[in-house]
Amino acid sequence: MPRDKEAIRTVSGVNRRRFIKAAGASAAAVTLAGCTSGGDGGGDSSDDSGGDSSGDSGGDSGGDSGGDSGGSEDLTTVSFATPPVGMPVNIVMEYYLAENDLIQPRFEEDGYELDYELTFEDATLFASGQIDMGTVSWVEDARLGVEQDQQLVAFGNIEGVVSTPWVEVGGPYDPDETGGVQESLDKIVDEGARFGIPGWAAGAVPHLQNIIQEKYGYTLAQDGGDFNVQTTERGTMPQLTLRGDLATAVHSASSAGLSEVVNGELKPLLWIWNEYLDQGWGRPPLVSLSTRLDFAEENPEVLLNMIDMWSEGLNYVQDNIPDIAADPAGQETLEAENEEEARFLMDLFAGNEVEQIESLQRSALYSEVGLDDQSVEDAMNVLGVMEELGQIPSGWEDQVTFMTRSDLEDMV
């Protein structure tokens, strides 16, 4: 996957002032959506896709090698990668956990050292077996498990889908102007207006395809669909939408358009997250914790430490939104221009009421990252929907194992 600077591998500390930007996706990541910058797909590559690749996919990466590995020879190194998006990865991993030295000590107690990397190549690294653990969702686990005949384990939930299609407030495709979401989609189709997506492999797109097909009666597809699809870099989407080059575009306020949303220029055409809940399908996953079955069986304590690490970080963020938003370092980590933008972004993801747009019906961040019987049942329900609608191949049940926290504790 192309990137402007070398991703930074970290085993001892993180410098929040070092950044990378990345765009595009490698062939190995086409199957894996996660938080990658998207894949190849429909639409042309005309100038309307706009700008350079550096604006794509949001946040700043963390990391500083800190000299040597910082570990003892008697520690076993385990590896992990996740994409460096501001919310929630950077604010959890960099601003809170690494800044307060809360990562390595918990692993060292069990004889391990966590070698982690914040990079947009996370999906590629996981698919190719170069890392032990990744944050691809269990939807991607199902695809990868079948297509590469791998035995994979899903053992945690971090974040659900917060990306969605956005339109100009008061513009020609604003549902308040057309009469509703159905009328806006009818207008987009009738006029052949451009529908911007970051790529067919992008994490929110399969879920959006399901909603548009099942609720609104249209097909959003790479071949033979109803829409004039334009694959576009996330960083350019807000301005392309506001100047009328795109009717709507799929991204997250964490990856693009934060200022435009807070300023009242952009609003959701629909909320994928809320639509899934309304359909009774459950919460669509975006960032989950995954590994391979043999690694899980040999290192259950590592998986428990990962669960505890992320649970601590996510709970800290959701419990301290005002303080983080008021901190210039928190604003920088979130790529927010000011306190208002930082507060809006965290409140939005946490499912709190926001003034500017319709809020999420339920938090997209998980307070308890580890799985229990109910969360496994919910995940299986979503996967059943995905299989029924052709988004994942049959046979995934033989390739993916869900391990609850209790399962892992029994294995230690």
Average pLDDT, the chain: 85
Complete DSSP assignment for 93-138 = IIIIIITTT-SHHHHHTTTEEEEEEE-TTHHHHHHTT-SSEE---H
Using left for φ > 0, alpha for ψ between -120 and 50, and beta otherwise, residue 24 falls in left
In angstroms, the CA 50 to CA 45 distance is 9
d(C-alpha 310, C-alpha 370), whole Å: 9
Residue 73: its pLDDT value, please?
Answer: 65
Q: What pLDDT, on a 0 to 100 scale, did the predictor assign at position 20?
A: 28
80 has pLDDT over 90: yes
Write the single-letter amino acid at 162. Answer: V
Tell me the CB-side half-sphere exposure of residue 264, using CA atoms within 13 A: 3
| pTM for the structure as a whole | 0.82
Per-residue model confidence (pLDDT) at position 2: 26
Residue 72: pLDDT band with limits 50, 70, 90: low
Residue 62 · residue 31 · CB < 8 Å = no
Q: Which residues contact 363 (CB under 8 A, 6 or more apart)?
A: 318, 349, 350, 351
Q: 144 vs 152, 201, 222, 289, 383, CA distance in Å? A: 9, 13, 20, 14, 14
Q: Which of 46-55, 165-174, 248-257 has the lowest mean pLDDT?
A: 46-55
Q: pLDDT (tens digit, 9 = 90+) per residue, 313-358?
A: 999 999 999 999 999 999 999 999 999 999 999 999 999 999 999 9
Tokens 């459950």 belong to 282
Task: Average the pLDDT over 400-411 and give the result.
Answer: 97
Q: Regarding predicted confidence, which is higher, 288 or 10?
A: 288
What is the share, in percent, of the chain residues with pLDDT greater than 70?
A: 82
- Cα(316)–Cα(313) distance, integer angstroms: 5
pLDDT band at 71 (very low <50, low <70, confident <90, very high): very low
In this predicted structure, the answer to whether residue 284 has a pLDDT above a threshold of 60 is yes
Residue-wise pLDDT for 367-383, tens only, equals: 999 999 999 999 999 99
pLDDT tier, 37 (very low <50, low <70, confident <90, very high otherwise): very low
- Is the model's pLDDT at 31 over the cut of 90? no
d(CA 112, CA 75): 5
The model's pLDDT over 297-313, given as tens digits with 9 standing for 90+, comes to 999 999 999 999 999 99
